[in-house]
Amino acid sequence: MNIYGYHSIEERLKLGRISGILKISRENSRIHRLIGLARRIELPVERVSENELTRLAGGENHRGALLVLFEDRGTVKGKTKYRSLKEKLKEIESDNSLVILLDGITDPQNLGSILRSADQFAVDMVILPSRRSAEDGPTVSKVSSGADSYVDMVVAVNLNRAMEELKSEGYWVYGADMDGKPIDRVDLRGRVAIVMGSEGRGLHRLVRERCDEIVAIPARGHVDSFNVGVAAGIIMYEVRRQQGFEM
């Protein structure tokens, strides 16, 4: 996987224990910092031409640096990807937990935005369906400013089954929809799971039917609704506010 964007590369290098090459085509203070981080974890640094870096990045928006990852050799700070839901649930001990499920979020920009908020609000995990979903990659990493390196992600073959598994572990599952009950009038303390649907289509029918309640963000705008990334951030804040979460 190729990662570009200063913040994304920096956060991935801070994690350490990765296998790859840092490729650079320019000289500036931020790139020198990336080189220092790479050398600290004994990651090779290679100077390449601007054209070569543009080819590898798939465009000119690389700013002179690209991290080429071969494979993850491990994780730190609790970051894991694509493990089983049951395994992850065993690690969650807090009575005030927050899980985000994504139903049909196919735009990497939206996924990156959601992961950035998930990192800021210490979401316990983000659950992605194995189909009809954006995948973690260069765009997601850049948009999230590297937050995808810290947020635990789980891929569920069946999102409805994942919701039932969460319920069996004491979670209340809320679907986000503009026709729902105002979120500030809902008790969101305890173990909470929020399902975010795609823009336009919203929640799939079966997913909606399995939610314990549908919630909405009170608003008075002239357009239909919030962008899903913005909406997710607002909802995460409200859940954590009610849970008395200390930032």
37 and 89 both lie in a single domain: no
Domain containing residue 100:
85-242
Band of the pLDDT at 223, cuts 50, 70, 90? low
168 and 206 both lie in a single domain: yes
For residue 201, give every residue at least 6 positions away whose Cβ sits within 8 Å of its Cβ, in sequence order, or none: 104
For residue 7, give every residue at least 6 positions away whose Cβ sits within 8 Å of its Cβ, in sequence order, or none: 142, 145, 146
User: The domain spanning residue 148 has which CATH number?
Assistant: 3.40.1280.10
Length of the chain: 247
Q: Is residue 225 part of a domain?
A: yes
Task: Compute the Cα dihedral for 104, 110, 112, 114 and give only its sign.
Answer: negative
Structural domain count, the chain: 2
pLDDT one-digit tens code per residue, 72-109: 433 433 345 546 788 888 888 888 999 999 998 888 88
Yes or no: say if 137 and 1 are a contact pair by the CB < 8 Å rule: yes
pTM, whole model, 2 decimals? 0.71
CA-based end-to-end distance of the chain:
32
Q: What average pLDDT does this structure show over 193-204?
A: 88
Beta strands in the chain (DSSP E): 2-4, 18-24, 45-47, 65-72, 98-103, 125-129, 153-156, 172-182, 192-197, 213-216
> With 90 as the cut, is the pLDDT of residue 62 above it?
no
27 and 148 both lie in a single domain: no
Yes or no: say if 144 and 120 are a contact pair by the CB < 8 Å rule: no
For residue 57, give every residue at least 6 positions away whose Cβ sits within 8 Å of its Cβ, in sequence order, or none: 2, 4, 66, 138
31 and 138 both lie in a single domain: no
Domain boundary among 43, 72, 101: 72
Q: What is the pLDDT of residue 222?
A: 58
Q: What is the pLDDT of residue 143?
A: 76
60 and 91 both lie in a single domain: no
Q: What is the pLDDT of residue 79?
A: 47
The radius of gyration of the chain from alpha carbons, rounded to an integer in Å, stands at 19
